Amino acid sequence: MVGFLDLHSHMLPSVDDGAKDIEEMKKMMELAYNDGIRAICFTPHFKLYEFEDEEQIERYNAHINRIFNDACNYASAEYEDMSLFLGSEIMCHSDVAESISENFCKNIANTSYVLIEFHFKASFYDIKNTVTKLSRKGFIPIIAHAERYSELVKKPARVTELKELGALIQINARSVTNIRFGRVARFIKKVFKKMLVDIIATDAHDSSHRTPILSEAFEKISAKYGEGYAKKLFVENPNSILNKCSKE
Ligand SMILES: [Fe+2]
């Protein structure tokens, strides 16, 4: 299938632990394109504790903007029907809503959606509290790779609670295809069965291991839960988020 949208990607080179250089980004983009992906939102990590001061954050953001422009130029020359967007994957910290409001970290493509990650052992209280705070400030939190948090895996019903507070749930494509046994596999099965998942994304970091591939997971979800639901997760839901973007 052609026309997938990938809302979680570390393809932007030399900014985090994703693509190490422009050549790696090119390889990744080719893989993504050949897999049927036609829109990618780059979401480099933002971890407040890695910065010493605001000036360093500003330099980091200026650097990201420059590289993003280069990536857009490359994509438009090579792939005329590929769209690129910019966001960030924000590691939760106590002033996360303020950091977003002050533009230290980027929401998804200038929309009110924010991709937020937690420590894998984060307490449910912290996750819930962050979702509540962000929702109150008018943001729509997308919980990155929800299958990674032990406090959710332990009690999948908590996912419903987070959704009621305004969160969207993102699961990694590789988890869908590669995790077959154990607690996480059972968690994934439960949340899909109850149709609690909103978005599947690649969380791609390279061209050999954590790759930008969605088609395999799409086939699996289609076969198990129906093509209609699969299309929502891989195309319609991410598309409706990106359609809300006001381009700079
Ligand atoms: Fe990520």
DSSP class per residue in 90-117: EEP-TTHHHHHHTTSS--GGGSSEEEEE
- Mean pLDDT over residues 180-185, rounded? 93
Higher pLDDT residue, 2 or 142? 142
Measured in Å, residue 25 CA sits from the centre of ligand 1 at 15
Is 124's pLDDT higher than 60? Answer: yes
Angle, helices 54-78 vs 22-34, to 10°: value is 50
% of the chain exceeding 90 in pLDDT: 87
Mean per-residue pLDDT of the chain: 94
- Mean pLDDT over residues 187-201, rounded? 97
Residues 6+ apart with CB under 8 A from 60: 15, 51
Measured in Å, residue 227 CA sits from the centre of ligand 1 at 26
Measured in Å, residue 123 CA sits from the centre of ligand 1 at 20
Higher pLDDT residue, 104 or 225? 225
Statement: the pTM of the whole predicted model exceeds 0.85: yes
Give the model's confidence band at 246: pLDDT under 50 very low, under 70 low, under 90 confident, else very high.
Answer: low
Measured in Å, residue 10 CA sits from the centre of ligand 1 at 6
Phi, psi of 31, deg, nearest 5: -60, -45
Can you tell me the distance from the alpha carbon of 147 to that of 193, in angstroms, rounded to the nearest whole number? 14
Convert the pLDDT of each residue in 42-99 to its tens digit.
Answer: 999 999 888 999 999 999 999 999 999 999 999 999 999 999 999 999 999 888 888 8
Measured in Å, residue 8 CA sits from the centre of ligand 1 at 6
Measured in Å, residue 172 CA sits from the centre of ligand 1 at 9
Convert the pLDDT of each residue in 25-51 to its tens digit.
Answer: 999 999 999 999 999 999 999 998 889
Measured in Å, residue 144 CA sits from the centre of ligand 1 at 7
* AA letter at 95: D
Amino acid 98: pLDDT = 85
Measured in Å, residue 182 CA sits from the centre of ligand 1 at 22
Can you tell me the distance from the alpha carbon of 48 to that of 76, in angstroms, rounded to the nearest whole number? 32
Strands, E assignment, the chain: 4-9, 37-42, 45-46, 83-86, 89-91, 113-117, 140-143, 168-172, 199-201
Convert the pLDDT of each residue in 156-166 to its tens digit.
Answer: 999 999 999 99
Is 245's pLDDT higher than 80? Answer: no
Separation in Å, CA 147 to CA 14, 51, 75, 133, 139: 27, 28, 31, 22, 22
The domains located in the chain, with CATH, are: 4-242 (3.20.20.140)
The tokens describing 189, both together, are 């099965």
Q: Answer yes or no: are the C-beta atoms of 141 and 167 closer than 8 Å.
A: yes
Measured in Å, residue 189 CA sits from the centre of ligand 1 at 21
Measured in Å, residue 192 CA sits from the centre of ligand 1 at 21
Can you tell me the distance from the alpha carbon of 117 to that of 126, in angstroms, rounded to the nearest whole number? 12
Measured in Å, residue 37 CA sits from the centre of ligand 1 at 17
* Cα-Cα-Cα-Cα dihedral sign, residues 41, 98, 96, 133: negative
Measured in Å, residue 30 CA sits from the centre of ligand 1 at 19
Give the model's confidence band at 248: pLDDT under 50 very low, under 70 low, under 90 confident, else very high.
Answer: very low
Give the model's confidence band at 2: pLDDT under 50 very low, under 70 low, under 90 confident, else very high.
Answer: confident
β-pairing verdict for 45-46 and 4-9: unpaired
Measured in Å, residue 211 CA sits from the centre of ligand 1 at 12
**Cα 225 from chain centroid?**
22
Measured in Å, residue 92 CA sits from the centre of ligand 1 at 13
Measured in Å, residue 90 CA sits from the centre of ligand 1 at 9
